[in-house]
A and B are shown apart, each in its own frame.
Chain A
Amino acid sequence: AQSVTQPDIHITVSEGASLELRCNYSYGATPYLFWYVQSPGQGLQLLLKYFSGDTLVQGIKGFEAEFKRSQSSFNLRKPSVHWSDAAEYFCAVSGTQGGSEKLVFGKGTKLTVNP
């Protein structure tokens, strides 16, 4: 069965510092991988997605993620965090086969940014 693990429930960084949020997935075939961000009381906004090709994916708001098949990982990075990046971040995986394309989410990582 598909599963996603985000090992860090809560991360605190200082504004301007670099950020890496970890995501490990379990899926039998080649996955579609996503990172979403959710501000309090809001819906989910797509930051970036990986389907195939270049394993380093660029997203919005200066985020990037790297797909590492050997490690079953899809970690999210940002070189310099802004106070507005404080939010909750969700990694998700979906299948590439036909039929249901439901997303399986991790439990999320809450990011706090200190001034």
Chain B
Amino acid sequence: NAGVMQNPRHLVRRRGQEARLRCSPMKGHSHVYWYRQLPEEGLKFMVYLQKENIIDESGMPKERFSAEFPKEGPSILRIQQVVRGDSAAYFCASSHGQGDGYTFGSGTRLTVV
């Protein structure tokens, strides 16, 4: 039973390029959460999705960031026109639903050069 799979593990992008981060939740999990971890900071919530629906995007920057969780396939966090300040570790977590805990992936470390 594979855990939460994130890829790539490391991603380097030049300023202005697009970054696509993928997350495959645990088998049977239909809730996906994305978090961002900046250096010396805890994890900050970005977005919560269920299949084909965005439930809560209160932590997403208003511009350049988007997320989806299609009926088939992984959840995607997309960052357009990346800037140096987007350099961070991005973690995905999945769960069954309310109150049963969360399983985290190993993260994608994005570096913008």
Most buried by A among B33, B98, B103: B98
> Which chain B residues border A78 with CB–CB below 8 Å?
none
Q: Which residues of A contact B4 (CB under 8 A)?
A: 43
Q: How large is the interface on A (under 10, 10 to 19, 20 to 34, 35 or more residues)?
A: 20 to 34
Interface residues on B, range: 20 to 34
For window 14-71 of A, CB contacts with B under 8 Å fall at 32, 34, 36, 41-46, 49, 51
Q: Is the CB of A105 within 8 A of B43?
A: yes
Query: Do residues A105 and B55 form an inter-chain contact, with CB atoms below 8 A?
Result: no
Bound-complex Cα distance A36 to B104 (A): 10
Which of A51, A92, A105 has the most C-beta atoms of chain B within 10 angstroms of its own C-beta?
A105
Sorted nearest first, the 6 A-B pairs with minimum C-beta distance are A100-B56, A105-B42, A43-B106, A44-B104, A102-B45, A107-B42
Seen from chain B, the residues whose Cβ lies within 8 Å of a Cβ on chain A are 4, 31, 33, 35, 40-45, 48, 55-56, 58-59, 91, 93, 95, 97-99, 101-107, 109
